[in-house]
Structure 1
């Protein structure tokens, strides 16, 4: 396998704000980018932004829950720039309706588990298998984006979302334990309060929490900070830290007294 090409990153959920920030940060770090989302039409703007700074990128439409299309999608992703050196599991869906756990519907629960956990587990499996089957002089990386609300925090109106992300978080440890010997490092990134479409309906509530001291940094997080964290891990410079979690949460996990 040629080693003179640039490293390549595959970013899922690239049409969202955090996905775009991750792609931009990886581009700045020297990666070519394969962008994917279920609907790729919103990716045109991101591609233009990457083109403007001379970052090569391509967009491939794919519904992560489609088992039958997965292998063809992974093959296309690897073929785009001659390989994939970093997978970023960023895609995710929120609850269908925020509310009491007693009112969670099977449809909302199943949707969160299908996209946030099951689909990402099997995409990671497919990408890892292909990485193992292709020799490389580089350390490869798999970075999974979860949420601050999987440990020490309980989202009262997001039960099924948090539960699915907690399972995804735990899966990172299993992948790290299995793939280290294959030259693949696995990490988790946990964003805190970020201004995204997912938090748009709760801005006032979160503003009040920040003002009350719930976030020691006393501010919202910037999605660019998530992007830069992913890029740091993707470069493969922290291989002895495989399986670790990087908290981009302004200190929300602390219990300050």
Structure 2
């Protein structure tokens, strides 16, 4: 990502553009990952689409290409450091650069703590926390000054809403610490900004698995009285990764309709 040039006048809208940049989105096969990829393409970026389900990635690629941008699909299980390295290598081979990483891949469970198995717990941590680290490490090695990483965490990292989600909440809370540490490690030394987005409740494959009526029970706690629309989170992402957000690093931006303050 190019550092802003003071001598050239750019409008507010110009600063939100991503022209000439390459964005890697993990978990790009469904839900919010699709919205992130499409938004980045609409803002002018070429997009590397990474996920385990390659067939679904082709659907996301069509959205990117419909916006007039190039898409590269890479089969990636982020819990495997070697696959994350191959993802970054593929991006460099195809585009010659990586300007942005959106660490979106994630899974959840809703298992009571007294019954959750070690394998169930580890799987969530392996993808949500370790996967974010391996992907950041792989992309961080090839990023140039002015690049940006956004880790997608969750409002459940900072509050509890009655679901038995120890593994998910713990892993997403840990991502907040990871974000702060990478920001301080890579900010002044390498010029890479690292932030986190903490979504509230948005329609996705994950929320579709909740018991019937659960989301409705939360409506009274959501100040804006509804679930979020994917574009409302994607808009916040574009701010963080564009030149509009170049003085923001080490922060967690909560986009939750106000539920975390009730």
**How many Å apart are 1:245 and its aligned residue?**
1.3
Moved more, 116-125 or 235-244: 235-244
* Selected match of 2:213 from 166, 180, 204: 204
CA RMSD of aligned residues (A): 1.9
Structure-1 residue corresponding to 2:36: 22
Q: Is the 8 A contact 2:103 2:132 kept in 1?
A: yes
Rounded Cα–Cα distance in structure 2 between residues aligned with 1:72 and 1:206: 38
Rounded Cα–Cα distance in structure 1 between residues aligned with 2:255 and 2:2: 35
SS at match of 1:156: coil
Q: Is structure 2 residue 195 aligned with structure 1 residue 187?
A: yes
**How many Å apart are 1:86 and its aligned residue?**
0.3
Rounded Cα–Cα distance in structure 2 between residues aligned with 1:6 and 1:74: 18
- Where do residues 41-190 of structure 1 align in structure 2 (5 Å cutoff)? 41-95=55-109, 98-131=110-143, 134=144, 139-181=146-188, 182-190=190-198
**How many Å apart are 1:178 and its aligned residue?**
0.9
Deviations 1:29-65 (A, max 9, x none): 1111010101211112221122222121111111112
SS at match of 1:193: coil
Change (3 A) 1:2 1:110: closer
Q: Is structure 2 residue 227 aligned with structure 1 residue 220?
A: yes
Moved over 3 A (4+): none
Change (3 A) 1:183 1:109: same
**How many Å apart are 1:67 and its aligned residue?**
2.7
Q: Is the 8 A contact 1:141 1:236 kept in 2?
A: no
User: Taking structure 1 as the reference length, what is the TM-score of the superposition?
Assistant: 0.89
SS at match of 1:241: coil
**How many Å apart are 1:121 and its aligned residue?**
0.8
Q: Is the 8 A contact 2:100 2:241 kept in 1?
A: yes
User: Taking structure 2 as the reference length, what is the TM-score of the superposition?
Assistant: 0.88
**How many Å apart are 1:234 and its aligned residue?**
0.9
Runs of 5+ unmatched residues, structure 2 = 4-18
Q: Is the 8 A contact 2:50 2:76 kept in 1?
A: yes
- Where do residues 245-256 of structure 1 align in structure 2 (5 Å cutoff)? 245-255=252-262
**How many Å apart are 1:238 and its aligned residue?**
2.1
**How many Å apart are 1:155 and its aligned residue?**
4.9
Paired residue total:
245
Change (3 A) 1:53 1:71: closer
Rounded Cα–Cα distance in structure 2 between residues aligned with 1:209 and 1:52: 36
SS at match of 2:260: coil
